[in-house]
Amino acid sequence: MVKANKRKAPGSASESNTKDALPRFDPKARKRQRVALDELGWQSVEIPDNLDDYEGFFGLEEVDDVEVIKASGLISFHAKGKDGAPQPGAEDVAKEGAEDEDEWEGFSESEAEESSQEEELEEEKKPKPARVLKSNKVAKDKELGALSFEALEDEDTEEGVDVTEWHSLNLSSGILSSLSNLKFSKPTPIQKASITEIVEGHDVIGKASTGSGKTLAYGIPIVEKALQMSQTRKEKPALALIIAPTRELAHQIGVHVTALCTKGNLDGVGVATITGGLSMQKQERLLSTSQIIIGTPGRLWEVMSTSKDALHRLKEIKFLVLDEADRLLSQGHFQEVEEIINALDKSDNTDENDDEPPALRPRQTLVFSATFHKGLQQKLGAKNRTNGDLMDQKESMSYLIKKLRFRQEKPKFIDVNPISQMATGIKEGLVECGAMEKDLYLYAMLLLHPRTRTLVFTNSISAVRRLTPYLQNLGLPVAALHSSMAQKARLRAVERFTKADNSILISTDVAARGLDIPGVQLIIHYHLPRAADMYVHRSGRTARAERKGASVILCAPEEVAGVRRLIARVHATSGGTHGKAIATLDVDRRVVARLKPRATLAKQIADVGVAKVKGRSDDKFFREAAEELGVEYDSEAMENGSGRQGRGNMRKKKERENREVSKDQMAAWRAELNGLLGQRVNLGISERYIAQGVVDVEALLKGEKGDFLGSVKGLDLENL
Ligand SMILES: Nc1ncnc2c1ncn2[C@@H]1O[C@H](COP(=O)(O)OP(=O)(O)OP(=O)(O)O)[C@@H](O)[C@H]1O
């Protein structure tokens, strides 16, 4: 690890305030004093015995006290002197980032430099020696006395961006370097408002719209702290526990935090992700060495309650983070979160005579979400009810402080979007269709927006299971995501969805919160979201990081009034007044009508497939049950055991019929469907294709023709 940062030791007066302690980084700085190479504290590196081919290479030296910063195509070095002492003026680097700081400017890949460095670079053109760059240590070829910027090039040769706008947050040069390489030129509003508060040691409740960078709002100060600690302490205790409601989100947070470390070459910060579905032993091992631990409540609790070492380690954390806090505090999750908090706060002192309540360990609690909903308040046993769906600032505060045992009496409540819950780049619309026509309209919507990364939300796993083969039968690139899938399949589905431009993911609300999949342009709510906050989170999978996107609800006529109320609540101003009206989108009904035969057939084939799979597992279940009871197995009698009549039985009857469909029949339907899919859909009156008189759907689907038949009026995705 490079040791050039002039940071104050933890515990010193201004430990939490990095303002004076951390060097600043300005990739644009030009006039900087240079330090002769030989003034640095070079040390010999032993050459391994097995290095046979020396190629005129006689030795290596390395230096520890140089910080390497890559940004904007510029590599710069912050250096200490030969004896490890700061070069004159180096403290100024820390304080001001001033023009005449004592550091190398570095080498620009685009501009020639007027200095002795240039000669050294010339030297570099001589036969190349091996170069060593290990753990940020800069290596020097003894013979050539050269420091090559080429040596620092890895595969990632892309330029970073100017990060001047981050300077007011007083971050360390390593973090700034990372942000530059991540191309985050300025903090988002929630980052700007939260980072300093967290660095200064406050508890924070942060609310900001979806896709507004909340992860790094807490991630940056945590990594900063980890870096500070690694400079002064050899051992690496657990520093932060980040709890997220879903496995995918936990993994994603892990990826974001890791990227923050690796993009700035910030070695030595261990990140562990602890979620269900993957090896517990491996995760426990990871936890035992990592400083930043991210997990879902269930698996975290499992690990904490079975491993004393893990529990002991986690008790040392200095940050407890609840991402998607309102979800974590609502039904299904809060019990586990509460148990985790109790376990973290439980004293190690087993002296029963000790009546004193145990002193709570110091810890910052950071709570982030785009929404804090009314349900949360009720679940937590609120006395006062609110009128709206979303809690106001005061209510959120008092409930959270009590339940999460904030150490501060008055945590900072930071609400950067007090008026609107929705990200500003989202265009919202609804498509009205008959309740029984949703499958058909979904297909039409997807077909009318080819080359569009689309996320479709349903309210049930069975709907995901049914819609996925239905759309696959129609030749669409569809993947499924729901909580009953094996974890690896879940992660694979998200990965596949992330990679192709025209991919479609059919998911339950497991993907509604937090998932940051780049380039999602269209959200379709196949089922109405169950609550206003879920609408916000589902829709928030598009239009992230100031991009644009669309969110469309498919709804039956009888659902329209409810949808309008829900949208109005989401857009209600803080005074609880007028909501924004949602636009009704007009799908080209001629297209829908033409697509009906193939959609009906595709659905039929999918339903048969689903019934057969379900039948096999039901059959196994009932057979085993019959065996246990010692009775003879009769599939129909078993299934109808309840004797109830109605829609459920109708469905079961249909399922039984579907299970009976023969292979030959299926093959015939498939052939018929292929025939339909291969056919040109003659719209006759299509304005665009009138000259040809026909539209080749296959060719259009393959993207061979520029535009697609028909349109959805009001949803001009390309021009969003
Ligand atoms: N300062 C920044 N500049 C540009 N992009 C950023 C910045 N900070 C974060 N991002 C990017 O913005 C995207 C959204 O960030 P993030 O996932 O943290 O949002 P969020 O507010 O947590 O959203 P949600 O409420 O949906 O969980 C990510 O791709 C992230 O890499």
Residue 14: its pLDDT value, please?
36
The share of the chain scoring above pLDDT 90, in percent, equals 39
Lowest mean pLDDT: which of 292-301, 346-355, 472-481, 700-709? 700-709
Question: Taking the domains of the chain in order of start, what are their residue ranges?
Answer: 13-135, 188-348+363-373+392-415, 430-587, 596-679, 681-720
Which atom from ligand 1 is nearest to the alpha carbon of 545?
12
Note the pTM of the prediction, 2 decimals: 0.71
What radius of gyration, in Å, describes the C-alpha atoms of the chain?
Answer: 30
Residues contacting residue 537 through CB under 8 Å, at least 6 positions apart:
210, 324, 370, 371, 509, 512, 513, 514
516 lines ligand 1 (CB under 6 A): yes
Residue 47: its pLDDT value, please?
47
252 lines ligand 1 (CB under 6 A): no
Residue 254: its pLDDT value, please?
96
ipTM: 0.99
519 lines ligand 1 (CB under 6 A): no
H or E element: which one contains 71?
strand 66-71
3-state secondary structure of 713: strand
Question: What's the rounded Cα separation, in Å, for the pair 131 and 139?
Answer: 7
Residue 81: its pLDDT value, please?
45
Q: Has residue 23 got a pLDDT over 50?
A: no
144 band by pLDDT with thresholds 50, 70 and 90: very low
Question: Which of 186, 188, 539 has the most ligand 1 atoms within 8 A of CB, as the residue to mutate?
Answer: 188
Q: Identify the residue whose C-alpha is closest to ligand 1 atom 30.
A: 213
191 lines ligand 1 (CB under 6 A): yes
Rounded to the nearest whole angstrom, what is the distance from the C-alpha of residue 516 to the centroid of ligand 1? 7
Q: Has residue 337 got a pLDDT over 60?
A: yes
Lowest mean pLDDT: which of 49-53, 119-123, 327-331, 655-659? 119-123
687 band by pLDDT with thresholds 50, 70 and 90: very low
Residue 93: its pLDDT value, please?
30
Q: Has residue 237 got a pLDDT over 80?
A: yes
212 lines ligand 1 (CB under 6 A): yes
711 lines ligand 1 (CB under 6 A): no
CATH code of 430-587, in short, is 3.40.50.300
Residues contacting residue 238 through CB under 8 Å, at least 6 positions apart:
287, 290, 291, 293, 313, 314, 316, 317
Mean pLDDT to the nearest integer, 640-667: 77
Strand order in the sheet with 478-481: 478-481, 504-507, 454-457, 522-525, 549-555, 426-432, 583-587, 712-713
Residue 11: its pLDDT value, please?
35
Q: Has residue 599 got a pLDDT over 90?
A: yes
Question: What's the rounded Cα separation, in Å, for the pair 512 and 538?
Answer: 4
Residues 303 and 280 sit within 8 Å (Cβ to Cβ): yes
Question: What's the rounded Cα separation, in Å, for the pair 690 and 338?
Answer: 65
Mean pLDDT to the nearest integer, 545-574: 86
Q: Identify the residue whose C-alpha is closest to ligand 1 atom 3.
A: 184
Mean pLDDT to the nearest integer, 96-120: 29
Question: What's the rounded Cα separation, in Å, for the pair 341 and 344?
Answer: 5
Rounded to the nearest whole angstrom, what is the distance from the C-alpha of residue 546 to the centroid of ligand 1? 9
- CA 203 → CA 136, 195, 603, distances in Å? 34, 11, 52
Range 188-348+363-373+392-415 has CATH code 3.40.190.10: no
Rounded to the nearest whole angstrom, what is the distance from the C-alpha of residue 566 to the centroid of ligand 1? 26
Q: What is the pairing mode between strands 319-323 and 364-369?
A: parallel
Q: Has residue 272 got a pLDDT over 80?
A: yes
Q: Has residue 328 got a pLDDT over 90?
A: no
Query: For residue 296, which of 331, 270, 328 has the smallest C-alpha distance?
Result: 328
Question: Which of 192, 210, 214 has the most ligand 1 atoms within 8 A of CB, as the residue to mutate?
Answer: 214
Query: For residue 700, which of 676, 671, 680 has the smallest C-alpha distance?
Result: 680
Residue 68: its pLDDT value, please?
57
Show the tokens assigned to 36: 């002769």
184 lines ligand 1 (CB under 6 A): yes
How many other CB atoms are there within 10 angstroms of residue 637's CB atom? Answer: 12
172 band by pLDDT with thresholds 50, 70 and 90: very high
CA atoms 465, 469, 475, 480: torsion sign? positive
Residue 358: its pLDDT value, please?
66
Residue 334: its pLDDT value, please?
82
Q: Identify the residue whose C-alpha is closest to ligand 1 atom 15.
A: 213
187 lines ligand 1 (CB under 6 A): yes
Q: Has residue 663 got a pLDDT over 90?
A: yes
Q: Has residue 238 got a pLDDT over 50?
A: yes
3-state secondary structure of 494: helix
347 band by pLDDT with thresholds 50, 70 and 90: confident
For 376-434, write each residue's pLDDT tens digit: 444 443 433 433 344 555 555 566 677 788 888 788 889 888 777 788 889 999 999 99
Q: 491 or 30: which carries more pLDDT confidence? A: 491
Mean pLDDT to the nearest integer, 217-232: 92
Q: Has residue 711 got a pLDDT over 90?
A: no
- CA 173 → CA 11, 22, 94, distances in Å? 21, 7, 9
206 lines ligand 1 (CB under 6 A): no
Rounded to the nearest whole angstrom, what is the distance from the C-alpha of residue 449 to the centroid of ligand 1? 26
545 lines ligand 1 (CB under 6 A): yes
Mean pLDDT of the chain: 74
Q: 413 or 672: which carries more pLDDT confidence? A: 672
Mean pLDDT to the nearest integer, 432-459: 93
Rounded to the nearest whole angstrom, what is the distance from the C-alpha of residue 435 to the centroid of ligand 1? 36
The pair phi, psi for residue 90, each rounded to 5°, is -65, -35
Q: Has residue 573 got a pLDDT over 60?
A: no
Residue 101: its pLDDT value, please?
29
Quote the crossing angle between the two packed helices 214-232 and 247-262, to the nearest 10°: 50
DSSP annotation string for 251-295 = HHHHHHHHHHHHTTT-TT--EEEE-TTS-HHHHHHHHTT-SEEEE
Residue 536: its pLDDT value, please?
92
Show the tokens assigned to 213: 């960078």
Q: Do domains 188-348+363-373+392-415 and 430-587 have the same CATH topology?
A: yes
Q: What is the pairing mode between strands 240-243 and 292-295?
A: parallel
Q: Has residue 292 got a pLDDT over 80?
A: yes
Show the tokens assigned to 237: 């205790």
419 lines ligand 1 (CB under 6 A): no
Question: Which of 178, 215, 255 has the most ligand 1 atoms within 8 A of CB, as the residue to mutate?
Answer: 215
Question: What's the rounded Cα separation, in Å, for the pair 65 and 77?
Answer: 10
Question: What's the rounded Cα separation, in Å, for the pair 214 and 237?
Answer: 25
377 lines ligand 1 (CB under 6 A): no
Residue 625: its pLDDT value, please?
64
Q: Has residue 564 got a pLDDT over 60?
A: yes
Question: Which of 178, 180, 184 has the most ligand 1 atoms within 8 A of CB, as the residue to mutate?
Answer: 184
Q: Has residue 72 got a pLDDT over 60?
A: no
Residues 547 and 401 sit within 8 Å (Cβ to Cβ): no
Q: Identify the residue whose C-alpha is closest to ligand 1 atom 29.
A: 516
The share of the chain scoring above pLDDT 70, in percent, equals 61
How many other CB atoms are there within 10 angstroms of residue 572's CB atom? Answer: 21
370 lines ligand 1 (CB under 6 A): yes
539 lines ligand 1 (CB under 6 A): no
Q: In this structure, what DSSP letter does residue 35 have?
A: -
Segments in 520-643 forming alpha helices (H): 532-539, 560-570, 589-629, 635-639
Which atom from ligand 1 is nearest to the alpha carbon of 186?
1
Residue 89: its pLDDT value, please?
35
